[in-house]
Amino acid sequence: MKAKSFLKSFLIIVILLLFASLSFAQAGRGRGRISGVVEDEDGKVIQSAQVVVEFLRSEGIKKETTTNKKGEWAVLGLGTGMWRVTASADGYIPASTKVYVRQLQMNPKISLTLKKTEEHGKPIIKKEASLNLLEKANQLFSDEKYDEAIVLLEQFLEENPDAYYVHLSIGDCYREKGEFDKALERYKRSQEQAQKDELIGMETSAKALASIGEIYLRKEDFETAQKYFKQSIDTHPDNEILAFNVGEIYFSNRKIDEAIHYFELASQIKPDWAPSYLKLGYVYLNKGDNEKARLSFNKFLELDPESPEAPTVKNILEYLKK
């Protein structure tokens, strides 16, 4: 009876916490927080870069900020769901990524690398006015108008053939349309061209490989998906966020053991990074391994005791004692 009472009480508090969170997360609004840094391809921070965060499930919901002297930025008040983060600065090609924002957990730090519009005196973007095409394409993607976004991205590539990383965005459009083979073709093309880029090719290649893995995961070809995820991590082995994001993909597909593997890998790459332990706590809790969940949550609190997630974690730990 004690075990049943504990389970009932635990489920009640989780449901209440989720309900409270979701009530604030309607229409893209909530208590979620994301942060990150904007750098150039040499690893130097970019000051006063513009950062735009757009909610992908509803038109017109976005927040804007700029980076400080350390290239850092943060945005508060985000609701649960998928958001697109875009960074831009004069003399650089805009870069963007997607992140799934949660209310009850710390979201991973986002690092965006901007490539200069010229390299060794040679222009990468031959028509800087065409950068507007990327901005419009991003908005169309947010509006789920994938065919129209593809048209603009193809036009941009035609005008700027060296901007190979745009194939990733085209692949994302085909992925959301469910045209997986076309998405794979674009991801592979980007990855092949990234191998020739000594500056930011490693990061782009790793992203492309992870995207390929996600396609195979959606196709339920788990063995092939695992192969590409491993290649992605091997390509950029010191990037804890990459391993973390692979864990997120597995967790969202209910592959618990695989998610644990990558969250643990992220914690090994950067042992003092709190989000990995927070996620491990939730994943182990989902698996029913309360002892490992407790250890992970305690490690999280040790590393980030002032986190907005700390009160929730402390409440969970109290119930795990019963």
Tens digit of pLDDT for each residue in 130-185? 777 887 887 888 788 999 999 999 998 888 888 888 899 999 999 999 999 999 99
Q: What is the pLDDT of residue 181?
A: 95
Backbone φ and ψ of 233, nearest 5°: -65, -40
Residues of the chain with pLDDT under 50: 1-27, 120-123
- CA 188 distance to own-chain centroid: 20
For 321, the token pair is: 């004692």
pTM of structure: 0.59
Q: Which of 114, 92, 148 is nearest to 43 (CA)?
A: 114
The residue assigned the tokens 């644990």 is 260
Q: What is the pLDDT of residue 19?
A: 39
| Alpha-helix residue ranges (DSSP H) falling in the chain | 2-24, 131-142, 146-159, 166-177, 180-194, 201-218, 222-235, 240-252, 256-269, 274-287, 290-303, 310-320
Report long-range pairs for 315-318 (Cβ below 8 Å, ≥24 apart). 315/13, 315/17, 316/10, 316/13, 316/14, 316/281, 316/285
Q: What is the pLDDT of residue 12?
A: 38
Contact by Cβ (8 Å): 157, 163: yes
Half-sphere exposure of 139 (CA within 13 A, CB side): 9
Q: What is the pLDDT of residue 28?
A: 56
Q: How far apart are CA 144 and CA 176, in angstroms?
A: 8
Q: How far apart are CA 50 and CA 65, in angstroms?
A: 6
Q: What is the pLDDT of residue 125?
A: 55
Which helix (H) or strand (E) element contains residue 52? strand 50-55
Q: What is the pLDDT of residue 79?
A: 80
Q: How far apart are CA 114 and CA 89, in angstroms?
A: 8
Q: What is the pLDDT of residue 66?
A: 93
Q: What is the pLDDT of residue 309?
A: 78
The residue assigned the tokens 């009480």 is 9
pLDDT for 244-255, tens place per residue? 888 888 888 888
Q: What is the pLDDT of residue 129?
A: 63
